[in-house]
Chains A and B, each alone.
Chain A
């Protein structure tokens, strides 16, 4: 199972919006609405930010939103803040009943 493809880095100024893409295949992202997104700060464990493509867990800011079109899922961060600077990973359930993570995206707040 190959990793889902994400851009290595995305940057934006405070207050701007950025979008991170996550491209999979018809065996994972394209066939299931079980895409989740995780935020990871250096030296910390990942934190769930989005599940089921576009749902937010309790306590996660509504500045984070998710969507999907075909084999590509996306995470949008609006009103970018300094605390959003972190690594972000997508994840999808697969047709083999396994999971696969994305390659990861480093978000930099300029």
Chain B
């Protein structure tokens, strides 16, 4: 079935780096733009980044610009989020979400991966 599965979360010290992955299956990954969205504990959703279907266009929220980088490998059906200089406020569940074709909405979501930034 159509699904996205995130991985790579865990506990990391402040200032360190972490790379999250999002594996897609059940659809033609290379045809869809994809997003990263996060949710801090007991807080709301925060949009982080978008990458176009072919990886040529990338957009990022000001809150993580310069520290987080979105990328993809269509040959592996995988989306990535490279997170550098992590801070305590980056502690959150990180979701990947598919951008539905022809509309500006997130129609498929992964189950999320938890990142905890703590010494």
Contacts of B47 in A (CB 8 A): 91, 98-101
Interface secondary structure of B, over-half rule: strand
B44 and A103 form a contact (CB under 8 A): yes
Report if A89 contacts B (CB, 8 A): yes
The total of chain B residues at the interface (CB under 8 A) is: 23
Contacts of A46 in B (CB 8 A): 37, 45, 95, 97, 106, 109
| Complex: A34 Cα to B109 Cα, angstroms | 18
Report if A63 contacts B (CB, 8 A): no
A99 and B35 form a contact (CB under 8 A): yes
Instruction: Map CB proximity to B onto A14-47 as digits: 1 under 8 Å, 0 otherwise.
Output: 0000000000000000001010101010000111
A34 and B104 form a contact (CB under 8 A): yes
Contacts of A45 in B (CB 8 A): 95, 109-112
B45 and A38 form a contact (CB under 8 A): yes
Contacts of B89 in A (CB 8 A): none
Report if B50 contacts A (CB, 8 A): yes
Contacts of B100 in A (CB 8 A): 48, 51
Q: From known contacts A98-B47, A104-B44, infer whether A36 and B104 are also in contact, taking CB-CB under 8 Å.
A: yes
Contacts of A93 in B (CB 8 A): 104
B106 and A91 form a contact (CB under 8 A): yes
A36 CB → nearest B CB, Å: 4
Contacts of A101 in B (CB 8 A): 37, 44-47
Contacts of A104 in B (CB 8 A): 44-45
B105 and A51 form a contact (CB under 8 A): yes
Interfacial residues, chain B to chain A (CB-CB below 8 A) = 35, 37, 44-47, 50, 59-62, 95, 97, 100, 103-107, 109-112
Interfacial residues, chain A to chain B (CB-CB below 8 A) = 1, 3, 32, 34, 36, 38, 40, 45-48, 51-52, 55, 57, 89, 91, 93, 96-104
A-B contact pairs, 17 of them (CB 8 A): A1-B61, A3-B44, A36-B105, A38-B45, A40-B45, A45-B112, A48-B107, A89-B44, A93-B104, A97-B50, A97-B59, A98-B59, A98-B60, A98-B61, A100-B47, A101-B45, A102-B44
